[in-house]
Homo-oligomer: A and B are copies of this chain.
Amino acid sequence: MPTVSIVYHSGTGHTTVLAEAIAAGARSVPGTTVNLLSVEGKDIVEGRYKNEALLATLTVSDAIIFGSPTYMAGPSGQFKCFADATGGIWFNQQWKDKLAAGFSVSGTPSGDKLNTIEYFFLLSQQHSMVWIGTGLLPLAEGRLNRYGVFSGAAAASGYEPPSVKPDADDKDTGAHLGKRVAEAAARWTQ
């Protein structure tokens, strides 16, 4: 009965929409416990993130999916402050052998989102985690992964409000990733 946690920052609500789609995908796998955890600006004091409860929830998870908008070519400052707060967990390798995955949203189809996802990957490798990507060919099922991003789920906000974008195809790409991670967690932890 694996636990999959999604930890993300959202500035405008678009990344929240994708996070919720991923959570729904993970929940569709019977027996999976899903935590949807938001990194909030109020927990960042002078650039240092402090929320021991959130970190503790992650540490008892089997898989962690990292999410952030792509701001100025990388993960948001808020997400990065959160990541830096995992230094003690890293030093004690408390996340070792957990599964990891990632997702990002930006205005345009490409928009340096690959760099944000690669950052999540490198973060996961410092933590000795095991990385799972989307597992989707471009235009899988005719419409998933239409941008051709393989290492994580990518969505475009297209300068529309979160009620409109990410659209159904991007959300279903996210749901596919959530389901894939939950299935992998069941296999990995059996």
Give me the interface of A with B, judged by CB distance under 8 Å: 41-42, 44, 46-49, 71-78, 80-84, 86-87, 90-91, 93, 96-97, 106-115, 118-119, 121-126, 128-139, 146-151, 154, 184, 187-188, 190
Contact = CB atoms under 8 A, between A and B. Distances in A.
B138 A108 contact: yes
Contact of A110 (B81, B129, B137, B147): B147
20 contacts: A42-B46, A47-B77, A71-B87, A72-B126, A77-B81, A77-B82, A80-B81, A93-B137, A96-B135, A107-B138, A110-B149, A111-B147, A112-B114, A118-B122, A119-B119, A121-B121, A122-B151, A128-B135, A129-B133, A130-B184
Residue among A46, A131, A137 with most chain B CB within 10 A: A131
A91 B82 CA distance: 26
A7 B27 CA distance: 37
Contacts of A42: 46
A150 B83 CA distance: 16
Given A71-B83, A190-B190, 6 more contacts: A74-B123, A91-B137, A97-B135, A111-B148, A128-B133, A188-B188
Contacts of A110: 109-110, 113-114, 147-149, 154
A125 B73 contact: yes
A106 to B, nearest CB: 7
A154 B26 CA distance: 34
A166 B86 CA distance: 25
Nearest to A113: B110
Residue among A86, A111, A125, A148 with most chain B CB within 10 A: A125
